[in-house]
Structure 1
Amino acid sequence: MSPTPDAEQSNRQTRYFELPANGEHSASLPDELPPYEALAELQATATSLEDGRIDIDLSSRIARRLSKLVPTGKPPISYGQNQPPAYTETSEKSIRLNVVIQVVGSRGDVQPFVALGTELQRHGHRVRLATHGQFDKFVRESGLEFFSIGGDPAELMAYMVKNPGLFPSMKTLRGGEIQRKRKMVDEMLHKCWSSCIEPDELTGRPFVADAIIANPPSFAHIHCAQALGIPLHLMFTMPWTSTREFCHPLANLKANGSDMSATAANYVSYSLVEWMTWQGLGDIINAWRGTIDLEAIPFSEGPCLTETLGVPVTYCWSPALVPKPGDWPENIDVCGFFFRDAPKYQPEPALEQFLASGPPPIYIGFGSIVIDDPDKLTATILDAVRATGTRAIVSRGWSNLGGDSTGDDQVFFLGDCPHEWLFQQVTAVIHHGGAGTTACGLLNAKPTTIVPFFGDQPFWGNMVHAGGAGPAPIPFKALNSNNLAEAILFCLTPEASAAAGEIADKMSSEAGVRRAVASFHANLPLNEMRCDLLPNRSAAWLYDKKGKKMKLSKMAAEILVESEKVLWNNLKVYQPHPVHIENRRWDPLTATLATLATTGVGMVSSASDIVVKPIQALRPVTPSHSRSASRDRSGDNSKRPSEEDVFGRPAGMDLPSAPTVTKDKDPQHGALAAVKGSASGVGGFFKHYSKGMLLDLPYAVTEGMRNAPKLYGGKAYDPGAVTDWKSGGIAAGKNFAHGMVEGIGGIVMEPVRGAKKEGAAGAAKGVGIGLLNLGTKMGSGAIGLFSLPSQGAYLTLYKNFRPVCRQSNKSYFVEMAVSPEAAAIIQRKKAQYCRFADSNQWNRFDSIMLPNATFLFHNPDGGVITKGDIKYSWSSTKDWVAFFENEFKTMQTIHIVGPAEMEQIGPDEIKAIWAVTYHAGTKENEGGVHGTGGGHYHETWKKVGDDWFMESLRMERLYWKVLSV
């Protein structure tokens, strides 16, 4: 049952959205919280709400225990919060990478990454945007490669909102909704991996990612990065990193008599939300990790992986609105909102007439939010507008506010209209609080009222209110004509206008997309990523023979192999940024029990396969749905409403319209498959047993004993991470030496230390601690002599024999070298291009370009060059020639291009980049205009028969200067 508006208001008073960080909370407390205690209480601590948010009870035991982990003391503030991180080297642009951007969410979530991808392309990177099939056209029209990861954003939101790890209701279970949503998440995980290694879906051009950019809800990011050993950079529009300054945007904090400080409560909210999410999806993620040859991640590590590993994060909001918290480290940046180029828009005559007929109106709209009773909302809006005497433009949105009414002199009902243009025409804006809409309103210095419906919208409402640019957010269920009228009047005050103007002034100086790209480059391990032979390309292979090691790019490796300088057998997959996830143990008892439980589950599962797999292999085949048919329709969002739709939005799992009948199995083949299945079960049983008893258990006991001193106030010695046989041997030696020295010496030293602190009582405690250390530290050192080298040897073998990444490299890492003949043809035709343009031989360009060649010219700021109403963008050679033939009738030009960078991107396609300097002036001997400019041509050339023709041209102008008039 939904809470009443009064109850909503009461709960809202206990939320901590933005609170001062005073650093006055718990001191000497345990370093970590054992996960086995958290599991038992998590369900009672947090409750999922219908609006996609989570109520967190701060008085619960788990919340109190987590509060002890909050860092103490004043946060650092001296690392330059308004500047991006310093570059690790000065030539970050010279290396060209294959970058995959993985995004899960709505169009509003995808749109900022389109702007980011476009900017990355200008830096010479190849960019693939992997997101839902619904956005195929939107992404491709922006000039980016697209890869569908399946799923439906509305359905995914419904799953995460209603079932973020909580036990589902019986009604939900009977309806099968949970299983459908879990299948959708599983599909997206598999396709996110495919987006890293599979060729382009349209052109077949090979692709393997050199770096990953992702938003946190895409989930697969860190695991794909680990599998390939490549850098990961997270970017998001709302905070997802623990901080004391404000709570998780999806959390409602309820005090319930708790004396927990606001800063601790804020910090704890992030852990609880992540733990709930992992509890609901951890099994799916771990099962998928097995398909890409990665080991399962325990519950204690999964929820906090990105923070534990120090993954760089860039947040896409304005620091003028939400400054970077002082307790965020240097690998986290707040760069500013990502704005797209404003679309060209011509308002309808009725709108122009309304705007001209009176003072500027306010804007009210809720976009794609679907409202149950739009007539009631319309009446509320009209009553509030008339009560304040203002004029208003009301966006109809998906709820069709206003119905068939066209409005009157005071209210205008508007259809689709770009906010970039519309918000310049109004005095204030009232909307649902999406990050993009909020940013657009504030950029235009408009006071803002936010009426949040779900998700992070209350967070943005509170941030706007904290900045003085709007009233406190009004939850939609509490909205009425009175509080809406009060909000309108607040937005029309000089104080609100001044605050919005101050935020806009700061935002106008921010270059969010460019700063995000700078942050991305700054966090790349560029020295480790470079090819030793072709330094502008990323290394994918490691040549290792007779002690000589060399990092090689895909192209360098192919050239050396084809010229028989090296053999494939001498090449190993190179991971420029290996990711090591360690299962941290808390004590020997829980370490032993957890390992035995994991081993037992694996053995039981394999034992069942001995029987189950043969049955599955021999079972008659029933008609099955065609996966390809479903895949072909993944981008179609025009399904009819059905019982599987959620909130009136189409479900994400398409049901194929007709089954595909498969032929009966060959009995002989079925028998062979049954034998293989049974044999795999037997092999799995003994594999789990031997690995668990001989490798995992000794290693777990070693780590449990090593960490045990933390349970009684001591410190755990860190011998270093075990990543291979060499590091395992070194760690074993260090751990043994430390264990012997501290274990034996502690019998004497611990009583002495205790006596100095607490006298006789302290000495007695010291004796006990010394005896405990003797057992734990010496035990860890002794067992570690076997377990640590064994673990290192296992990891070495595991890395060298993982089939997935080896196969992906051999299949997709090869890029073809440009043949001398093709390069000569393109170089000659580019020289002709310059000569024909300078000598006005426009009729000869058909020998250089394809008829349907495309052309795009950019200014240094990234915008398309325009002349009056004409954009320098053409989709045919004929139109391009017609424009410049007329443009240069009275002009003389000289174009000078340098040698080209060429890359074969397909069997019949070559990419070429040229540096160009050009001079232009009137043809008169004296006077007139004379200017000079320069930049780069980015071109693709297509092979037709034995000849090559230009297929596309993108000019990136770097400067243009008029020298005389």
Structure 2
Amino acid sequence: MRVLLAPHGTRGDVQPLLALALGLRRRGHDVSFLAPDNFVAWIRGYGFACEPNGVDVEAALRSPDGDLSSLRWQLRHFKTVLMPALFDSFMRIDLDVDLIVAAGVQLAASSVAEWKDIPYASIAFCPCAVPNSAAPPPPVRTQTLPRWVNRLLWDVGLPLGGLALRGLINDGRKRLGLEPVSNPLSLLGGEPVIVAADRDLGPLAHDAPRTVVATDAWILDEPAPFLDPRVDAFLDRDPPPIYAGFGSMVAKRSATLASHVVDAARAVGRRLILAGGWASLDRHVTDADDVLAVTAVPHRIVFPRVAAVVHHGGAGTTTAAARAGAPQVVLPHLLDQFYWAHRVEQLGLGPRAFPVDLVTADILTDRIATALEDWSIRERTRALAPAIAARNGVDAAVDHLETLLVGLESGL
């Protein structure tokens, strides 16, 4: 089976597909990638053919006018950069494949699959990405609404979202010689949709669409990555430090956020490892005996050695912290991060989250103190960690994709 994997987004959208690619290769399948420019070298390092899709996501988000939280910026970026680049990229590459698998904000893949009559599957990493009554659509921050309200928001939100994207996607479809669609969001789900999320952390709702199947989260199994000796030495000291990092999120008030994190760690009497991420928080912090600022750290080997993890609530980071048995303090920025923040609280893996744009040093101090001192949080994280750490949904996902293709070839 020749499979083209086409993720678009941040590392949280790309890394799980790299895990899937390794699983497909172990089964003897031929895998290639079409991915954001800033991930091409990393993917090629695993021995996969990978073509750039013409968008450097990190550069776009770190640009002076980049603002992922702004709907106006998103629509302008979609119109002037993203949509033309995504459709162009497919037209530049060899599409002699048996299956296209897309993830993240890959808004062209389903139309390209229709154009070339290639089977297509869409991947989501959060149950809140598909219509259901257990959670509202990702743009809705409030996670405690009645089920009927969640369903109503989906019923209203899908047509509105489709209306916002219709012109952009139909422009691309016109270039492919395809008929326009009234609601392009009906295309983006594909058939099937695979939701890759741990069964305890993010269970699929009972009323999700019948075309949706679930696997556990896709974990990238790789040899132990390099750990900066400075980080290793910092972690070896007692008591364990706090980790704080927000991955690809670029907070507009990054200097203030970095200051709040340092002040909160000192207020609870703990040392701090601060990962700068795409927001470059480390540029705003001076190293000290109790603070170590770095660009990034490998979560898999650092999280089991820290007292708590302060993060943005991305699916991958939430799962990594849960696998490590580390209490979590979540400062969600946008979209599905509010879902994961709510799940962390529901499961007893951390205190109630607080939106990053409203957090203060005092509020963060209170949340971290609760994560460190509440015995029920410590016990719950330790109890759940072994089961979550033992699960990897990659093999089940490969099974689904193989079954999909066999079924289509046999006309079932």
- Scaled by the length of structure 1, the TM-score of the pair is 0.39
In the TM superposition, residue 461 of structure 1 has moved relative to its aligned partner by 0.8
Aligned to 1:510: 391
In the TM superposition, residue 450 of structure 1 has moved relative to its aligned partner by 0.6
In the TM superposition, residue 473 of structure 1 has moved relative to its aligned partner by 1.1
Aligned to 1:456: 336
The one-letter amino acid of 1:187's match is P
In the TM superposition, residue 141 of structure 1 has moved relative to its aligned partner by 0.9
After TM superposition, list the pairs within 5 Å mapping 1:133-532 onto structure 2. 133-153=37-57, 155=60, 162-163=70-71, 181-191=78-88, 193-194=90-91, 198-199=93-94, 207-215=95-103, 217-238=105-126, 239-252=128-141, 262-297=146-181, 299=182, 301-305=183-187, 311-345=191-225, 347-397=227-277, 398-401=279-282, 403=284, 405-408=286-289, 410-492=290-372, 493-524=374-405, 526=406, 528-529=408-409
Q: Is the 8 A contact 1:227 1:292 kept in 2?
A: yes
After TM superposition, list the pairs within 5 Å mapping 1:553-592 onto structure 2. none
In structure 2, distance between residues paired with 1:161 and 1:402: 22
In the TM superposition, residue 443 of structure 1 has moved relative to its aligned partner by 0.7
In the TM superposition, residue 349 of structure 1 has moved relative to its aligned partner by 4.4
Aligned to 1:611: none
In structure 1, distance between residues paired with 2:256 and 2:87: 44
Q: Is the 8 A contact 2:324 2:385 kept in 1?
A: yes
2:26 to 115, 122, 129: 122
In the TM superposition, residue 156 of structure 1 has moved relative to its aligned partner by 8.3
Q: Is the 8 A contact 1:222 1:306 kept in 2?
A: yes
The one-letter amino acid of 1:365's match is G
> For 2:97, what is the secondary structure of its paired residue?
coil
Cα 1:343–1:354, aligned 2, differ >3 Å: closer, same or farther? same
> For 2:4, what is the secondary structure of its paired residue?
strand
- Summarize deviations over 1:169-202 as a string: whole Å, max 9, x none: xxx8xxxx9666413233234235426xx43xxx
In the TM superposition, residue 348 of structure 1 has moved relative to its aligned partner by 4.3
Q: Is the 8 A contact 2:4 2:31 kept in 1?
A: yes
> For 1:215, what is the secondary structure of its paired residue?
strand
The one-letter amino acid of 1:251's match is V
| Greater radius of gyration (CA) | 1
The one-letter amino acid of 1:191's match is D
Q: Is the 8 A contact 2:261 2:364 kept in 1?
A: yes
In structure 2, distance between residues paired with 1:253 and 1:347: 38
In structure 1, distance between residues paired with 2:235 and 2:10: 31
- The answer to which structure, 1 or 2, has the higher relative contact order (CA under 8 A, 6+ apart) is 2
The one-letter amino acid of 2:50's match is F
In structure 2, distance between residues paired with 1:441 and 1:296: 43
The one-letter amino acid of 2:99's match is A
In structure 1, distance between residues paired with 2:118 and 2:228: 50
Aligned to 1:660: none
The one-letter amino acid of 1:448's match is Q
Q: Is the 8 A contact 2:330 2:354 kept in 1?
A: yes
Q: Is the 8 A contact 2:242 2:265 kept in 1?
A: no
Q: Unmatched 5+ residue regions in structure 1? A: 1-96, 200-206, 256-260, 531-575, 578-965
- Summarize deviations over 1:583-617 as a string: whole Å, max 9, x none: xxxxxxxxxxxxxxxxxxxxxxxxxxxxxxxxxxx
Cα 1:312–1:345, aligned 2, differ >3 Å: closer, same or farther? closer
Count of aligned residue pairs for this structure pair: 405
- Summarize deviations over 1:307-344 as a string: whole Å, max 9, x none: 6xx72111121111121211125532221222212453
In structure 2, distance between residues paired with 1:217 and 1:379: 32
> For 2:282, what is the secondary structure of its paired residue?
coil
Identity %: 26
In structure 2, distance between residues paired with 1:350 and 1:139: 27
In the TM superposition, residue 211 of structure 1 has moved relative to its aligned partner by 1.2
In structure 2, distance between residues paired with 1:147 and 1:227: 20
Q: Is the 8 A contact 1:156 1:185 kept in 2?
A: no
Q: Is the 8 A contact 2:268 2:369 kept in 1?
A: yes
Q: Is the 8 A contact 2:282 2:294 kept in 1?
A: no
In structure 2, distance between residues paired with 1:254 and 1:392: 30
> For 2:8, what is the secondary structure of its paired residue?
coil
In structure 1, distance between residues paired with 2:348 and 2:354: 15
In structure 1, distance between residues paired with 2:246 and 2:46: 26
In structure 1, distance between residues paired with 2:143 and 2:385: 34
Q: Is the 8 A contact 1:360 1:427 kept in 2?
A: yes
The one-letter amino acid of 1:142's match is Y
Q: Unmatched 5+ residue regions in structure 2? A: none
- Scaled by the length of structure 2, the TM-score of the pair is 0.87
- Summarize deviations over 1:329-388 as a string: whole Å, max 9, x none: 553222122221245345444444433332222212223434445443344223322332
Q: Is the 8 A contact 1:429 1:446 kept in 2?
A: yes
- Summarize deviations over 1:844-891 as a string: whole Å, max 9, x none: xxxxxxxxxxxxxxxxxxxxxxxxxxxxxxxxxxxxxxxxxxxxxxxx
- Summarize deviations over 1:756-792 as a string: whole Å, max 9, x none: xxxxxxxxxxxxxxxxxxxxxxxxxxxxxxxxxxxxx
After TM superposition, list the pairs within 5 Å mapping 1:885-904 onto structure 2. none
Q: Is the 8 A contact 1:156 1:181 kept in 2?
A: no
The one-letter amino acid of 2:211's match is N
In structure 1, distance between residues paired with 2:229 and 2:67: 43
> For 1:413, what is the secondary structure of its paired residue?
strand
Cα 1:289–1:113, aligned 2, differ >3 Å: closer, same or farther? same
Cα 1:362–1:224, aligned 2, differ >3 Å: closer, same or farther? same
- Summarize deviations over 1:503-548 as a string: whole Å, max 9, x none: 3222123221112112222333x15526xxxxxxxxxxxxxxxxxx
The one-letter amino acid of 2:354's match is I
In structure 2, distance between residues paired with 1:116 and 1:461: 26
Q: Is the 8 A contact 2:140 2:335 kept in 1?
A: no
In structure 2, distance between residues paired with 1:250 and 1:152: 24
Cα 1:150–1:293, aligned 2, differ >3 Å: closer, same or farther? same
In structure 2, distance between residues paired with 1:242 and 1:317: 16
In structure 1, distance between residues paired with 2:269 and 2:370: 14
In structure 1, distance between residues paired with 2:285 and 2:266: 20
Cα 1:352–1:486, aligned 2, differ >3 Å: closer, same or farther? same
In structure 2, distance between residues paired with 1:279 and 1:315: 25
In the TM superposition, residue 216 of structure 1 has moved relative to its aligned partner by 5.5
In structure 2, distance between residues paired with 1:347 and 1:212: 35
- Summarize deviations over 1:365-412 as a string: whole Å, max 9, x none: 22343444544334422332233223332324443437462212x433
In the TM superposition, residue 432 of structure 1 has moved relative to its aligned partner by 1.4
